[in-house]
Amino acid sequence: MFEKLKGVEKRFLEIEELLGNPEIIQDRNLYQKYIQEHAELNKIVSGYRNYKQILIELEDSNELLKDADPEIKNLAREEVNTLSVKKEKQENELRELLIPEDPLDKKNVLIEIRAGTGGEEASLFANDLFRMYSRYAENRSWKIEVMNHHTTGMGGLKEIVVMIHGKGAYNRFKYESGTHRVQRVPATETQGRIHTSAVTVAVLPEAEDVEAHIDPGEIKIDIYRSSGPGGQSVNTTDSAVRITHLPTGLVVTCQDEKSQLKNKNRAMKVLRARLLDSKLREQHEQRSEERKSQIGSGDRSERIRTYNFPQGRVTDHRIGLTLYKLENIMQGNIDDIIDQLTTYYQAQALQNAESSNIQTF
């Protein structure tokens, strides 16, 4: 770790020198690039320099332990204990800072929620999850854009695709991918029996065209008349759009807008996100088993969480977390779960990086 930190500090000093170069200053793009890199490294370098200062003070205090004066020795012993705690804390912070930042974390996020096993009850719970995520986004002042949805007669959702616009949205939602299981007495149950149903959630980072370029010659676009509960307000015109990506067979439909152009634009956004997600998954599969375990939480076939309504309990099976505040969580207060998942997977990333001696810089 310390060799990495030395390398970071060396690079930081190189950038400071470059930022004073008149030729660099005149090149606006290059200057901005170095300014950004300087800002990114500054936190690490500041922490490293603080750590080196703690080491110096600790060495001085250890020397004072040899002093013949008992009072000085007692003061030095207290200082050594205090500085030892600081040293350990600073080491941990530096390790976290050296974990490579996921460039996708700052992106908007596309969330696809689909009812699984459980019939109408699964559809109702899909709607509950959508409401939970929406409230979480609203509390952060993030914009919610429904791309496409299909409702049921009882107010449930067969599926819904929603884009959440906000800096860091993908970072906060990325561990929600997987199967969410609910245990409760359905509204349709007359004998009070508890049923188990499931809903699948897919979380995808928004993709720019440069990240997932779509060749117009590789897509087939069909225009048709909207129908069903999701398209009742727009079923008088041929505004619904279905896009098929011929190389992969991916199909995206959108019918929520009255405008054919808006539906097409939304469908293209979804298709780009799915293509980027597919590309990322291929990259993940090529990595070692150790690395794959780090990203295992993204497997949509994995049962990640159970919501038990009779007990008021939510359990995340990946980290063994159980919280008895289900009602509060369903209102969108899911930071407790997200924070603990983030800590867990960051620790795994650090462990994997250290064991495989990944060169961060």
Whether 19 and 31 have beta carbons less than 8 Å apart is answered as: yes
Give me 121's structure tokens: 């009850």
What letter does residue 100 receive in the DSSP assignment?
P
pLDDT, residue 214, reads 80
pLDDT, residue 217, reads 85
**Residue 243 — φ and ψ, nearest 5°?**
-115, 125
pLDDT, residue 299, reads 43
DSSP string, 285-318: HHS-HHHHHHTGGG-TTSEEEEEETTTTEEEETT
pLDDT, residue 97, reads 78
CATH annotation of 216-282: 3.30.160.20
Digitized pLDDT (tens) for each residue of the chain, 361 residues in all: 677 788 888 999 999 999 999 999 999 889 988 998 898 889 889 999 999 999 999 999 999 998 888 899 899 999 999 999 999 888 888 877 777 677 788 889 999 999 998 889 999 999 999 999 999 999 999 999 998 888 888 889 999 999 999 988 999 999 999 999 999 998 767 677 899 999 999 998 888 765 677 888 888 888 877 665 444 444 456 788 888 888 888 888 888 777 888 888 888 888 888 888 887 777 666 544 433 343 333 344 568 999 999 999 999 999 999 999 999 999 999 999 999 998 888 777 766 655 544 343 3
Give me 184's structure tokens: 């409760």
CATH architecture of the domain with range 109-207+288-352: 2-Layer Sandwich (3.30)
pLDDT, residue 136, reads 96
Residues linked to residue 203 through DSSP beta bridges, in sequence order: 111
Helix (H, G, I), strand (E, B) or coil at 277: helix
Query: Within 10 Å of residue 273's Cβ, how many Cβ atoms?
Result: 27
Sequence spans of domains, the chain: 2-97, 109-207+288-352, 216-282
In this prediction the pTM is 0.63
Residues linked to residue 84 through DSSP beta bridges, in sequence order: none
Helices 335-355 and 70-97 cross at an angle (nearest 10°) of: 90
pLDDT, residue 127, reads 95
